[in-house]
C-alpha cells in the first residue's frame, strides 16, 4: 500500500515538486508538469507526453535528451487538464511544431484535444498520436478503442529520437504512428494497488489466482485464472502476444522485436529476470530476433503486483531510432552529447483572467454563486471516500479526489473573482477553468465544459432567474453530450444531468421560482443517479467490466447529485437574492 503521503488530494502536486527538484539535471518544473532543463535547438519538433500520476517512470521520468521534451503530469490516475497540457507544450515549444503523444483513455483524449485546439488557434502546428497497445481492451478490428499501457515507451522513444535527429513534424508523426501500429502489450496482476489515503486496494484477487488483461489504473482484469510458475507466465505472455502480430509483420519467424518486460509496481527485478529467462527461450524458438530489451519498472501502477509484456516489432528505421542514445531521469541508452542548460526565465507565464464589467444586479448575485460552491466543497469532502469506493468497483477509484480538487479550486477561483468585482458569468467561468485544471481527468474536463456553458448564458448583465439558469443548464447538457460523446443510458454523469435539466426547464416554464425549481430537479437527479446502478457502462474504462458495476451507481452521476443538492441548500437559504423568471433585482 501507499504509506508515505501528507494530504491525499495534494499527493500529485507534492510528488511533482519533489521529482523536479531531484531530477533538475534533466527537467525543470513548469505549470502543469515538466520540460527539459537542457537546451533544445530552435526549429526542433517537440514531443510532449503525459498522463496521470502514479505510473513512474511514465511520464515525467521520460523527459530528456533523445526522448520527450515535456510531460504534463495529472492527478493520481487522472489525465492532466487541458490547461496543464497547453502550459507544458507552450513551455517546450521552439518553433518546429508539437507532437502530443499519450495513452488512449477518455480523460486524456478530452483534455489533450482541447489543448491541441488552443495551440492550433494560436498558429502552432500541433498533432496527436494516441497509444493503443493493450490487446485485451478491444478486439483487433476495433484497435482505435484499445487503451495504452507500457507500450507507450516504444512510441515515445522512437518519436523523441526522430525529433532529435531533425525529422520534420510530418515525419515524427509518421514514426510515432508506425511505432504504435507495431506495438502489442498484455498484462496480468496478482493484486491491485492502493491509492494514497485509501484503506484497501482497488481490487483484490483470490489467493492462488491472477487477473489477466488489466490496465495501468488499478482497474480489475478482464479475466482471471490460476497463478502459473514463472515459466508458465512467460509462456502465457508470449503465446498471447504471438497470436496477434501487427498487419505489417508477415510472420513472427524472421522478424525483429523490442521486448519490454514491465513490473507494474511491487514485482521485483529478480522475479522479472526469472520470467525473462524463459521469455528469451520462447522468442528464440519462434525465430524472433530480440532487439535491446528492457526489463524493469517502465510504466507502473503504484504498488500493483503485476507484470506486462510488450512486443514492439521493428523495421530498420524503428530499430535505429530505438537504439539511438537517450538520457532522462528514468531511461538511459548509449551516450548523448550533453546539451547546455536552458534559460528558464520565460517559462510558465500566463495572464490572469480578465474581469469584465458587470451590472450591480449580477455582482449582487455572485454571493449566492460563491456560497453555493462553498457548499459543494463541504458536500464533496463528506462524500469523497464513498465516491472513490463507487468508482473503484469497475474503474480506478480516483473520482472522489478529483471532485474534491476540482470543487476546492472552483470555490477559490470564484472567491477571488468576486473580490475583484466580477459578475455571475465571469465568476462561473473562472470557477469552470479552475475546476477543469485542478481536477483533471474526464470528469474535470466535463465539469469545466458544463460550468462554462452555464456561465456564457448567465453573463454579467443581469441577475440569474429560473429561466436563464434552466437555459444555461440545458446548454451545459448539450455541451457535455457534444464534448464527452456520451448518451443517456451509457452510465455516466449524463444520466443524472439530463433528467435534472428536463425537470428544471419544465419548472421554469411554469413560472416556478429558482430555489423550488432547482429543488425539484435535484430530487430527480438523485433518483436518476440511484437508477444508474441497474445500467451497464458502454463507454470509458468501466466498459471493459460491464457486469462488475451492476448494483452500483455511476460515480459521475452520484457526484452530480451531490453537487446539485448542495447548491439547492444555498438557494433555499439565500432565496431572497434570486428572482422568479423574467425579473431582476
Last residue of one domain, picked from the residues 277, 307, 326: 326
Mean pLDDT, rounded, for 456-481: 95
Q: Which residues are within 8 A (CB) of 153 and not within 5 positions of it... i.e. 6 or more apart?
A: 58, 62, 260, 294, 298, 299, 310, 331
Do 299 and 364 lie in one domain? The reply is no
Model confidence at 349: pLDDT above 60: no
Q: What residues make up the domain containing 253?
A: 133-139+173-194+205-326
Grid coordinates representing 364 are 449582487
Please report which helix (H) or strand (E) contains residue 318, including its range.
helix 316-323
**What is the C-alpha separation between 196 and 19, in angstroms, rounded?**
17
Q: Which of 55, 69, 144, 217 is catalytic?
A: 217
Q: Going by C-beta distance under 8 Å and a sequence separation of 6 or more, which residues neighbour residue 493? A: 443, 446, 480, 486, 554, 556, 557, 559, 560
Catalytic status, residue 568: no
* Grid-cell match 466535463, residue found: 446
pLDDT for position 540: 63
Q: What is the pLDDT of residues 424-449, one digit of tens each?
A: 999 999 999 999 988 888 899 999 99
The reply to whether 501 and 455 lie within a common domain is: yes
Number of C-beta neighbours around residue 564 at 10 A:
26
Please say whether the beta carbons of 236 and 51 come within 8 A.
no
Which of 326, 350, 378 is a domain's end point? 326
Largest CA distance in the chain: 81
Rounded to a whole number of angstroms, the distance between the first and last alpha carbons of the chain is 55
For 87-138, how does the pLDDT look when each residue is reduced to its tens digit (9 = 90+)? Answer: 999 999 999 999 999 999 989 999 999 999 999 999 999 999 999 999 999 9
Mean pLDDT of the region 150-167: 98
- Per the structure, the count of domains in the chain is 3
**H or E segment at 289?**
strand 289-290
pLDDT exceeds cutoff 90 at 14: yes
Average the pLDDT over 507-530 and give the result.
96
Dump pLDDT digits (tens) for 49-101: 999 999 999 999 999 999 999 999 999 998 999 999 999 999 999 999 999 99
The pLDDT of residue 176? 98
Same domain, 384 and 288: no
Of 76, 99, 131, which marks where a domain is finished?
131
Asked if 533 and 429 sit in the same domain, the reply is yes
Asked whether residue 501 is assigned to any structural domain, the reply reads yes
Is 279 part of any domain? yes
Provide CB contacts within 8 A for 165, sequence distance 6+: 321, 324
Domain containing residue 253: CATH number: 3.30.1180.20
Residues 316 and 456 occupy one common structural domain: no
On whether the CB atoms of residues 70 and 347 are closer than 8 A, the answer is no
> CB neighbours (10 Å) of residue 291?
16
Nearest to 77 by CA among 202, 162, 167: 202
pLDDT at 352 over 50: no
Task: Pick the closest to residue 514 from 428, 453, 575, 426 (CA basis).
Answer: 575
The vertex-231 CA angle with 226 and 233, nearest 5°, equals 40
**For every residue of 496-553, which 3-state class applies, written as one string?**
HHHHHHHHHHHHHHCCCCHHHHHHHHHHHHHHHHHHHHHCCCCCCHHHHCCCCCCCCC
Q: Which SS3 state, helix, strand or coil, does residue 350 take?
A: coil
Does 333 reside within a domain?
Answer: no
Q: What is the mean pLDDT of the chain?
A: 92
Q: Which residues pair with 185 in a beta bridge?
A: 134, 310
- Domain assignment present for residue 355? The answer is no
**Nearest-angstrom CA–CA distance, 194 and 198:** 6
* Residue 24 belongs to some domain of the structure: yes
Per-residue cell: 454? 452555464
Integer Cα distance of 394 and 491 in angstroms: 12
Beta carbons within 10 angstroms of residue 41's beta carbon: 11
If asked whether residues 227 and 302 sit together in one domain, one would say yes
Instruction: Please give the angle made by the CA atoms of 10, 55 and 93, to the nearest 5 degrees.
Output: 85
575, pLDDT greater than 90: no
Is residue 179 located within the same domain as residue 263? yes
How many angstroms separate the CA atoms of 370 and 384, rounded? 21
Percentage of residues of the chain with pLDDT beyond 70: 94
Question: Do residues 545 and 554 lie in contact, with contact meaning Cβ atoms separated by under 8 Å?
Answer: no
Amino acid at each position: 500500500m501507499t504509506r508515505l503521503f501528507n494530504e491525499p488530494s495534494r499527493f500529485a502536486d507534492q510528488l511533482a515538486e519533489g521529482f523536479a527538484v531531484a531530477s533538475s539535471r534533466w527537467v525543470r518544473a513548469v505549470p502543469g508538469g515538466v520540460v527539459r532543463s537542457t537546451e533544445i535547438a530552435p526549429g526542433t519538433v517537440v514531443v510532449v507526453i503525459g498522463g496521470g500520476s502514479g505510473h513512474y517512470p511514465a511520464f515525467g521520468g521520460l523527459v530528456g535528451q533523445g526522448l520527450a521534451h515535456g510531460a504534463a503530469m495529472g492527478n493520481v490516475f487522472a489525465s492532466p487538464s487541458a490547461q496543464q497540457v497547453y502550459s507544458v507544450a507552450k513551455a517546450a515549444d521552439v518553433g518546429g511544431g508539437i507532437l502530443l503523444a499519450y495513452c488512449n483513455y477518455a480523460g486524456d483524449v478530452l483534455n489533450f484535444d482541447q489543448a491541441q485546439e488552443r495551440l492550433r488557434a494560436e498558429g502552432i502546428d500541433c498533432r496527436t498520436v494516441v497509444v493503443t497497445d493493450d490487446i485485451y481492451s478491444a478486439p483487433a478490428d476495433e484497435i482505435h478503442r484499445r487503451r495504452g499501457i507500457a507500450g507507450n515507451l516504444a512510441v515515445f522513444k522512437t518519436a523523441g529520437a526522430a525529433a532529435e535527429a531533425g525529422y520534420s513534424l510530418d515525419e515524427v508523426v509518421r514514426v510515432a504512428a508506425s511505432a504504435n501500429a507495431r506495438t502489442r502489450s498484455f498484462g496480468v496482476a496478482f493484486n491491485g494497488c492502493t491509492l494514497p489515503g485509501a484503506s484497501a486496494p482497488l481490487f483484490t484477487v483470490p489467493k492462488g489466482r491472477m487477473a489477466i488483461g488489466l490496465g495501468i489504473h488499478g482497474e480489475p482484469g478482464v479475466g482471471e485464472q490460476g497463478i502459473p510458475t514463472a515459466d508458465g507466465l512467460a509462456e502465457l505472455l508470449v503465446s498471447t502476444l504471438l497470436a496477434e502480430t501487427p498487419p505489417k509483420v508477415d510472420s513472427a519467424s524472421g522478424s525483429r522485436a523490442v521486448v519490454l518486460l514491465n513490473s507494474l509496481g511491487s514485482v521485483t527485478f529478480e522475479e522479472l529476470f526469472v520470467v525473462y529467462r524463459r521469455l528469451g527461450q520462447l522468442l528464440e524458438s519462434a525465430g524472433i530476433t530480440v532487439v535491446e530489451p528492457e526489463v524493469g519498472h517502465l510504466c507502473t501502477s503504484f504498488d500493483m503486483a503485476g507484470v506486462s509484456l510488450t512486443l514492439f516489432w521493428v523495421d530498420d528505421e524503428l530499430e535505429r531510432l530505438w537504439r539511438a542514445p537517450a538520457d532522462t531521469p528514468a531511461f538511459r541508452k548509449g551516450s548523448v552529447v550533453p546539451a547546455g542548460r536552458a534559460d528558464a526565465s520565460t517559462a510558465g507565464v500566463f495572464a490572469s483572467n480578465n474581469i469584465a464589467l458587470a451590472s450591480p444586479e449580477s455582482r449582487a448575485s455572485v454571493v449566492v454563486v460563491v456560497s453555493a460552491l462553498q457548499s459543494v466543497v463541504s458536500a464533496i469532502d463528506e462524500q469523497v471516500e464513498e465516491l472513490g469506493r463507487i468508482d473503484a468497483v469497475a474503474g480506478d477509484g480516483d473520482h472522489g479526489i478529483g471532485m474534491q480538487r476540482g470543487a476546492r479550486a472552483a470555490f477559490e477561483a470564484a472567491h477571488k473573482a468576486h473580490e475583484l468585482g466580477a459578475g455571475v458569468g465571469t465568476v462561473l467561468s473562472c470557477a469552470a477553468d479552475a475546476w477543469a485544471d485542478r481536477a483533471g481527468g474526464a470528469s474535470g474536463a466535463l465539469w469545466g465544459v458544463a460550468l462554462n456553458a452555464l456561465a456564457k448564458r448567465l453573463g454579467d448583465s443581469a441577475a440569474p432567474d429560473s429561466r436563464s439558469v434552466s437555459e444555461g443548464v440545458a446548454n451545459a447538457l448539450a455541451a457535455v453530450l457534444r464534448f464527452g460523446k456520451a448518451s443517456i443510458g451509457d452510465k455516466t454523469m449524463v444520466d443524472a444531468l439530463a433528467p435534472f435539466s428536463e425537470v428544471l426547464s419544465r419548472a421554469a416554464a411554469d413560472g416556478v421560482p429558482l430555489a423550488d425549481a432547482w429543488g425539484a430537479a435535484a430530487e430527480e437527479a438523485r433518483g436518476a443517479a440511484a437508477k444508474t446502478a441497474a445500467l451497464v457502462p458502454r463507454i470509458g474504462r468501466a466498459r471493459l467490466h460491464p457486469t462488475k458495476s451492476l448494483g452500483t451507481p455511476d460515480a459521475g452521476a452520484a457526484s452530480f447529485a451531490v453537487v446539485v443538492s448542495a447548491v439547492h441548500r444555498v438557494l433555499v437559504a439565500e432565496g431572497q437574492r434570486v428572482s422568479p423568471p423574467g425579473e431582476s433585482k
